[in-house]
Structure 1
């Protein structure tokens, strides 16, 4: 009887230990995506020069904007709104600004349906956010034949360039800051390794297909794939035109 009791206690203890390990593993899996090595790249306010185009980047905050390239420092800029906003721009067109959140494609689509006539040009100023929403917004912009543009003090980072690339024409004023990096797949969800890799590869395939559809050189991916999520690679003027991100690069705003 005593042997049976000891055996039962060991089984119960083993079960409890197993549950504790599972819970500990789950908590670690939730925390792990947010654990990254610190970036040793220069701060965003350090001037960009050819060959030195990677800067530290916090996707939750809007980095400073630059006024010229290369070699000019970037002045401080207030944080962006937590999601996209659409408002009339002085001089014509519409400004789209703020972070790109899940559901912003639906908000943008609904907003666009209410515009009569539809805006001819959308001016972008966003630190990025949801890749899937950015791709859907870009597809709708191309479908409607709308031009995308950037002012000299504008920024379009992370997922935002996919919206920019959706423009039937893409007018960028010199000094605008267009930057790319790796997509962040760090939602707090524990996935088996093979499923996580499959999800990442599927998302990258979707992006490559999008680039091809929009007439953008897929070689631009070499910069995004080589730049971690807590850093941003800033495209030079010759890269903006070379990869066909910009169909027009001008010294003055329209």
Structure 2
């Protein structure tokens, strides 16, 4: 699958380690910030790639030709003005109905509203737990971004059209950043409705907020063969109203926990109960939920791939 990414961030994390994360993009490990203005970024990024490539000859490239990386002169994410009113609307469980200028979408919004109101009236409990920790996939699964501290979003394009590509941990500001990028591209007349995310996990509630948006706004989720979507990223993937996965990709689920504190029977029961409203909202399979919530310990993770994913969630395999 031939893809390209249109980068719209002015800072990329980098280190001396270079690797491929997906068919869509060649990325540098995001552990440090380098303050590059986007208009000056091309030659410096090229030099950095050349330098890091020479230092890491042992890393095999999963494709014979380098993917195209198109740099656009655009605003940094820090410069994208965020509309707090729109943030509040997007963050609400029930999306607002379309205005007069968007009457064609009113019926669709009404259907989403009625469906979610019905679910919440039955649940009558908070959608998100009152606590949230930076919980990532167990280290033994060796996610390449396990120790990264930066989340980047980029604009991708393939034969199906544009999509939002993200990689890195689910940080404290992940949901706000996600909304800012969606708005930024909408202002450029690009209405996104598909997400590809390569992540080891992170702050669970931030992931649930993104997943809630994905579900309520009828986005699809996708994972190409180099992507590993673990932990809270799995919760996001499960929210897609339609899903795709390429052979080689992995989507991992495990029970949330409190770092540096042992699990107790009471806490395990509470976690099971606290995350169930979200799982019900996205119409997740309870067999899968019971498996990773009850049958797997905190150092374990249940992996879905192209071979077994359709046992628990309908996904197009390509």
Q: Write out per-residue CA displacement over residues 105-135 of structure 1, whole angstroms, 9 at most, x where no aligned residue.
A: 1221232222213312111111111111111
| Aligned ranges 1:69-148 → 2 under 5 Å | 77=144, 81-91=148-158, 92-116=162-186, 117-148=190-221
Q: Write out per-residue CA displacement over residues 187-246 of structure 1, whole angstroms, 9 at most, x where no aligned residue.
A: 67x9xx9xx8766544432422222221221111233233233332212435311111x4
- Normalised TM-score (structure 2): 0.49
Q: Which residue of 2 aligns with 1:171?
A: 244
Report if the CA contact (8 A) 1:80-1:126 is conserved.
Answer: no
Give the 4+ runs in structure 1 shifted more than 3 A.
Answer: 77-81, 196-203, 236-239
2:300 to 218, 231, 234: 231
Alpha-carbon distance change, 231 to 218 in structure 1, aligned in 2, over 3 angstroms = same
| Aligned ranges 1:143-154 → 2 under 5 Å | 143-154=216-227
For structure 1, list consecutive stretches of 5 or more residues without a partner in the other structure: 1-55, 65-76
Q: Which residue of 2 aligns with 1:186?
A: 259
- Normalised TM-score (structure 1): 0.60
CA distance in 1, matches of 2:217, 2:145: 32
Q: 3-state DSSP class of the match of 2:170? A: coil
Cα offset for 1:155?
A: 0.6
CA distance in 1, matches of 2:285, 2:174: 26
The structure that has the greater radius of gyration is 1
For structure 2, list consecutive stretches of 5 or more residues without a partner in the other structure: 1-136
Identify which of structures 1 and 2 has the higher relative contact order when contacts are C-alpha pairs closer than 8 Å and 6+ apart: 1
Q: Write out per-residue CA displacement over residues 61-108 of structure 1, whole angstroms, 9 at most, x where no aligned residue.
A: x825xxxxxxxxxxxx46564132110225242211111122311221
Report if the CA contact (8 A) 1:93-1:121 is conserved.
Answer: yes
CA distance in 2, matches of 1:181, 1:79: 15
Q: Which residue of 2 aligns with 1:155?
A: 228
Report if the CA contact (8 A) 1:185-1:200 is conserved.
Answer: no
Report if the CA contact (8 A) 1:177-1:235 is conserved.
Answer: yes
The count of residues paired between Structure 1 and Structure 2 equals: 175
Q: Which residue of 1 aligns with 2:287?
A: 219
